Copies of this chain bind each other. A is one copy, B any other.
């Protein structure tokens, strides 16, 4: 009301980022949610295992900046769906190597392709320069 500047909600970066993030997340969610009843964290865990190979829950936490409870629950859910298996390690029984099953691999590959297609479609709306700036900015903001 009595504000003399023109700082608007849409100018507020956390808001703008959230709106954009939500729009894309909701759009892509259909891929894994409708088909496989997966949650976002499950999809991320699946992605990590599919893309980078077997690893422990801890490694997934670190790489994806996910909290260990989230990962723990996602792993259990994926296990129940028969998308991954656990293999306790001999050297240190606290660790368990998580690996996708055949079925998990198939699902991963499908979603991976869907993700790439979605990303390509989204990116095609911008020039190469814009894409570059956008990615660099997001990267920089994320690693604060």
Residues of A within 8 A of B (CB): 1, 3, 5, 7-25, 27-28, 44, 47-48, 50-51, 53, 64-65, 112, 115-116, 118-119, 122-123, 125-126, 129-130, 133-144
The prevalent SS among residues of A at the interface is helix
A142 to nearest B CB, angstroms?
4
In the complex, which of the residues B9, B119, B137, B142 contacts A12, with contact meaning CB atoms closer than 8 Å?
Answer: B119
Chain B hits for A21, CB < 8 A: 14, 17-18, 20-22
Contact B144 A27 (CB under 8 A): yes
Q: Which of B9, B50, B65, B134 interacts with A134 by CB under 8 Å? A: B134
Pair B137/A11 contact, Cβ less than 8 Å: no
Q: Tell me, rounded to whole Å, the shortest Cβ–Cβ distance linking A2 to chain B.
A: 9
Q: Which of A1, A112, A118 has the most CB of B within 10 A?
A: A1
Closest 3 CB pairs of A and B: A17-B21, A19-B142, A14-B24
- Beta-carbon contact of B9 and A51 below 8 Å: yes
Known pairs A64-B9, A112-B7; A23 contacts B141 (CB<8 A): yes
30 contacts between A and B (CB under 8 A): A1-B53, A3-B51, A3-B112, A9-B48, A9-B64, A11-B135, A12-B115, A13-B119, A13-B123, A13-B134, A14-B24, A14-B25, A14-B27, A14-B28, A15-B44, A16-B142, A17-B24, A18-B21, A20-B21, A20-B137, A20-B141, A21-B22, A23-B142, A24-B144, A27-B144, A126-B140, A130-B133, A133-B137, A134-B134, A134-B137
